[in-house]
Amino acid sequence: MRSSKYYTLGKVLSEDEWAKLPTSRLRQMVEIREDIEASFNLIKQYVRALTNEGDFSFTALNLRLRGASITTINKALNARIEEYRSNKRYGSMQMAQCALRTFERFAGDSIPFATVTPQWLRKYEQHERDRGLRQTTISMHLRQLRTAFNEAKKLGIIKPSADPFAAGQYTIQNGEGRKLALTLAQIKMFAHYSGNATLEHYRDLWMFIYQCNGINIADLIRLRFCNIKDGEICYVRQKTRNTTKTIKEIRAVITPMMQEIIDKWGNPYDENAYIFPVLQGDETELEKDYRCQTFITLMNHYTKKLGKLLGIGNITTYTARHSFATVLKRSGANIAYISESLGHSNLKITENYLASFEREEREKNALLLTNFD
């Protein structure tokens, strides 16, 4: 059975104007007529090509039409940003926006796909290093670009041979993880600090994150009292909630210290209330994300200040997450348990997460090789 589909061209005409359109000589009407003809010819061209390939469907046609408007990586990334926005994936949206800014700073606001070669990518990488960016950040930006090229191939915008990320050409290098974890002795010093009330406040919240499986801030600020079940905090990671087939619930036992922190800094108990007073409850998802970023900035400011005061170094919310994983590893915990507690999708992610923290352990083991006594 044949089916029809209508495509809007964004043109608005009255019935009288539509009747006069084929013969009108008015400049505006001529331009509208030419736009309609061009759009019709483009659709006809794509339909013919897809039919000849034996692959016609409205889905395939829609992909071709979408690709027709994407002529630069700027437009490709902007299209991805809008897709993230429509799906309310605001963290991914901000990451793509950040990546696009770096590419435009390097090469301008109209970068053809053909311009991006392995040599171009290496120059971009060096340019960002010279600006002081870490390899981990550069790699995250380049993965956004690689996704844009994969999408461009899928849409037929470029041929597979024009992909600079294809096998044997340019490979994105992973950044080496920083030693972000604290030792138990350092955590004890941090936990026992007493003095400035503001520093104590953010110290306590850091200790809560550390003990709550290194919970991400996006998840922390969304915790409600109804997430507490049988003495455990149970939640699904915001980061993977809409991107994985299987929803994995993370559970963290509430320790006495965590309960004290809830009692001291949390909202009054109400099953549907947020545990901590960062969100009010009437924010949009985008507003929640911005509040999350603001809270991270504020918290990191004070935990870094306290870390410097104690001589421990920079301490951030991310340090709490890494410390949770590393302390467990050094204590002999099974890596599968650590991975599940962090909410990682596979063990490889957890292994990479922990790989760079063990310089101290390697030095200790090296001495064992000549411990003849």
Task: Return the SS3 of 155.
Answer: coil
What pLDDT is recorded for position 174? 66
Higher pLDDT, 4 or 246: 4
Structure tokens at 267: 């909202």
Which residues contact residue 106 at a Cβ distance below 8 angstroms, ignoring those fewer than 6 apart?
124, 127, 128
Nearest residue to 262 via CA among 315, 336, 307, 204: 204
Task: Return the SS3 of 232.
Answer: strand
CATH superfamily of 184-366: Intergrase catalytic core (1.10.443.10)
Per-residue pLDDT of 71-94, as tens digits, reads: 789 888 888 888 788 777 777 888
Single-letter amino acid code for the residue at 329: K
CATH architecture of the domain covering 73-162: Orthogonal Bundle (1.10)
Structure tokens at 52: 């000849």
Count of C-beta atoms within a 10 Å radius of residue 44: 10
Per-residue pLDDT of 137-176, as tens digits, reads: 888 899 999 998 888 887 777 888 889 998 888 888 765 5
Q: What percent of the chain has pLDDT over 90?
A: 28
Q: Is the pLDDT of residue 177 over 60?
A: no
Rounded CA separation 128/93 (Å):
21
For 57, counting Cβ atoms within 10 Å of its Cβ (0-12 exposed, 13-18 middle, 19+ buried), the class is exposed
Cβ–Cβ < 8 Å for 214, 320: yes
Report the Cα 217 to chain-centroid distance in Å: 13
Cβ–Cβ < 8 Å for 17, 23: no
What pLDDT is recorded for position 102? 94
Report the Cα 22 to chain-centroid distance in Å: 50
Report the Cα 209 to chain-centroid distance in Å: 20
Q: Give domain limits for the chain.
A: 15-68, 73-162, 184-366
Per-residue pLDDT of 347-367, as tens digits, reads: 776 766 666 555 555 556 666
Cβ–Cβ < 8 Å for 222, 350: no
Cβ–Cβ < 8 Å for 38, 14: no
Beta bridge partners of 16: none
Task: Return the SS3 of 252.
Answer: strand
Per-residue pLDDT of 309-337, as tens digits, reads: 999 888 888 888 888 888 888 777 777 87
Single-letter amino acid code for the residue at 59: T
Q: Which of 60-64, 102-106, 263-267 has the lowest mean pLDDT?
A: 60-64
Task: Return the SS3 of 67.
Answer: helix
Measured over all CA atoms, what is the biggest interatomic distance in the chain, rounded to whole angstroms?
Answer: 102
pLDDT band of residue 54 (cuts 50, 70, 90) is: confident
What pLDDT is recorded for position 358? 55
Domains 73-162 and 184-366 share a fold: no
Sheet-wide strand order for 249-253: 228-229, 232-236, 249-253
H-helix or E-strand spanning residue 250: strand 249-253
Q: What percent of the chain has pLDDT over 70?
A: 85
Concatenating the DSSP letter of every residue in 93-105 gives HHHHHHHHHHHHH
Per-residue pLDDT of 190-221, as tens digits, reads: 999 988 999 999 999 999 999 998 888 988 99
